[in-house]
Amino acid sequence: MKKVTNFAKTFILGSLVLGFAACTNNDDDDPIVITPPTPSTINGSITSNTTWTADKQYILSGFVYVEDGATLTIEPGTIIKGEKATKGSLIVKRGGKINATGTVSNPIVFTSNQPAGQRAAGDWGGLVLLGKAPVNKTPAVIEGENITEFGGTDAADNSGTLKYVRIEFAGIAFETDREINGLTFGGVGSGTTVDYVQVSYSGDDSFEWFGGTVNAKHLISYRGLDDDFDTDNGYSGKVQYGLVIRDPAVADQAGDSNAFESDNDSGGSEALPKTAAGFANITATIAPGTLDSKYNAAMRLRRSSELKIYNSIFSGPYKVGVLVQNASVDNYKNGKLVLQGIAMQGATKMFDGVDENIFNTAANKNKVYTSVADLMLDTNFNSITARPVGTPKTGSPLLTGGVTLPAGFEPAPYIGAFNTTDWTATWANFDPQNADYDTAK
């Protein structure tokens, strides 16, 4: 009896093992089915605290508003798409907040609703933040939407957080000269956090500030249509560490395109507060190729702007390197418009409206370089066909020689966006056209 029992046990155990193995082999042969997350279409107004989660996708249909008193929280890794047919846009009103805090490995992405390979600049509206900080016009109504007002008297106003966020294929003209940019700030206050934000393939400006006091760090403007950094209506914040890479074949055919464009206001008045923002550690480049005739200047500073730019590189075949116009010419001569620690290379005409005697003083530490090789940058520093590498080579003159930055900036006496660390690693994407945003997480 004992022998029979052991045999039975052995037979049963063997059968189970064989059955398990057979099941395992069959599973290996079956295809793995990945179901994309079901998108939720969002329209109208968000009137209470709301969270968007990474296990879902969200489609912006038309103008979507975060209303006064409401906070929209977006989890790391969440994908938000703008609907092309309705020019989907997200507008955070005065008193509303957005808390979009991604991570270096799970950035938050705002992108086109078109399939990979069919995306284009201007597929959707863009992201607009409005706040209660001072601006120099009344009433101040945001461009493109042309209804909602912004600005106020609270310089420290807080519109929330944007951190590790990508914005792709946005920026669209709703009317002539009435566009929504990739990322628009209207009267946004210094209580707002903006850090590690990439705007790619914008159909208008990549970043535009209308007044306000918001500060920002680690910004990327990649292959935009119009201006990369546009400042107006009394913007007075500080921006540090910025990368601009232009496609030479792309420019705004209705006007002209510049890495920097700055006005006090559209009429060039002396209205207060003045546009007197500070930018430091910017690298602005153009990829190899024939330059579109509508691409203009590295810096177009005009209409009584008092912009200040420090420790920055401008390398590329610009028509003009530094173009200063209107009352901004006197602002430059009087020290209200400041250019210090500037490395210039490649412009057909280096200066227009600029007193070169001021530009070239020893205290300003500005220098014009004859060739790209003199800058000692990586071969792919301005590539749009491979991932760009912006960090200078050992021994590059850019690693030293910058000016001491004013209060409010981090100490960074090197010239350009990078020292020895590439802060674009992992979170930034330089090929969003082919990104797969439909695979389930």
Q: Over the stretch 246-289, which tens digit does the pLDDT of each residue have?
A: 999 999 998 999 999 999 999 999 999 999 999 999 999 999 99
Residue 143 lies in a domain: yes
Residues 227, 206 share a domain: yes
Residues 367, 222 share a domain: yes
Length of the chain: 441
Residue 319 lies in a domain: yes
Residues 414, 297 share a domain: yes
Q: Which of 31-45, 307-321, 350-364 has the lowest mean pLDDT?
A: 31-45
Q: What is the pLDDT of residue 32?
A: 52
Q: Domain total for the chain? A: 2
Q: What is the pLDDT of residue 17?
A: 39
Q: What is the pLDDT of residue 29?
A: 52
Structural domain of 27: 1-33
Residues 213, 318 share a domain: yes
Q: Sort residue 77 into left (φ over 0), alpha (ψ -120 to 50) or beta.
A: left
Residue 439 lies in a domain: no
pLDDT tens digits along 185-237 = 999 999 999 999 999 999 999 999 999 999 999 999 999 999 999 999 999 99
Residue 404 lies in a domain: yes
Residues 148, 126 share a domain: yes
Give the residue-averaged pLDDT of 100-125.
Answer: 97
Residues 270, 332 share a domain: yes
What is the distance between the alpha carbons of residues 282 and 416, in angstroms, rounded to a whole number? 5
The model carries a pTM of: 0.92
Q: What is the pLDDT of residue 19?
A: 43
What is the distance between the alpha carbons of residues 349 and 209, in angstroms, rounded to a whole number? 28
Quickly tell me which residue has 């910025």 as its tokens: 242
Residues 109, 25 share a domain: no
What is the distance between the alpha carbons of residues 300 and 293, in angstroms, rounded to a whole number? 16
Q: Give the residues across from 112 on adjacent strands.
A: 82
Residues 53, 20 share a domain: no
Residue 381 lies in a domain: yes
Residues 12, 82 share a domain: no
C-alpha 201: how far from chain center: 10
Per-residue confidence at 438, pLDDT binned at 50, 70, 90? Answer: confident
What does DSSP say about strands 172-175 and 39-46: parallel, antiparallel, or unpaired? Answer: unpaired
Q: Which of 19-33, 281-295, 394-408 has the lowest mean pLDDT?
A: 19-33
